[in-house]
Amino acid sequence: MILLSSKLSNILRAGRRCELLEPSIRSVQSVHLKLQNFLRCDPEYRGAGMKAGSQKEVDVWLEFAADPIRLRRVAQSVRQLMLAPEELQPEELQQVGFETEVEAPEGALLTRLHRVRERSSAIVQARKAQAMKACGALSCEVCGFDFAQRFGQRGLGFIECHHRQPLSLLEPGSKSRPADLALVCANCHRMLHRGKPWPSIEELSALWKARST
């Protein structure tokens, strides 16, 4: 357990700004104690485990204990984010309209990584080019809103992109393709990232249509 705690501590303290962390934050000892909190949730553990844990450990255990494959995928994505945190910081999330505490299947850290993928300029431009070639316009795949049609020259070429699959469902190290992105307006994008679990494009579109009739 100590060896695991040491490896996890190194990952959590890696990346930009790690030098700003107090020595006690994410230290081997603190990570070890946090892992001990999960023992009280394990029915196969013969001891009592740490009794000072919170409901959050219980929630995490209940969500992942019976799904080790998904747990492995989520852990891989978190590790990828922690080792490359310079790509997108919390303040940048707020600038693009996503709070760091947004509720999602993969949690705030993976939501950050999710946004990194969505903001990749090359894949976004490729997806927009596909839509223009196929439809001649960039309209929201949920509600049909077209920024250029509504705002003229100011809205020309503008639309947001949403990654269709939560990162918790992707294979570790998988690469995104233009087909993995959906074109959506800002309002629908917020709704796609709200709640647990995230709705699919089709589910949100059906809800919008049902409320529009």
CA distance 28 to 175: 32
pLDDT tens profile 136-163: 999 999 999 999 999 999 999 999 989 8
DSSP per-residue letters across 124-142: HHHHHHHHHHHHSS-B-TT
Nearest-angstrom CA–CA distance, 54 and 162: 33
Hey, what's the torsion of the CAs at 204, 210, 212, 213, to 10 degrees?
160
Please say whether the beta carbons of 137 and 131 come within 8 A: yes
Please compute the mean of the pLDDT values over residues 49-69 and round it to a whole number.
79
| Cβ–Cβ under 8 Å, residues 160 and 186 | yes
Given a cut of 60, whether residue 94 has pLDDT beyond it is no
Give one DSSP letter per residue of 29-86, joined into a string: HHHHHHHHHHHTT-TT--S---SS--HHHHHHHHHHTT-HHHHHHHHHHHHHHHTSGG
Where along the chain do its domains lie? 1-65, 67-213
pLDDT: which is higher, 19 or 28? 28
pLDDT confidence of residue 102? 37
Does the pLDDT at position 166 exceed 60? Answer: yes
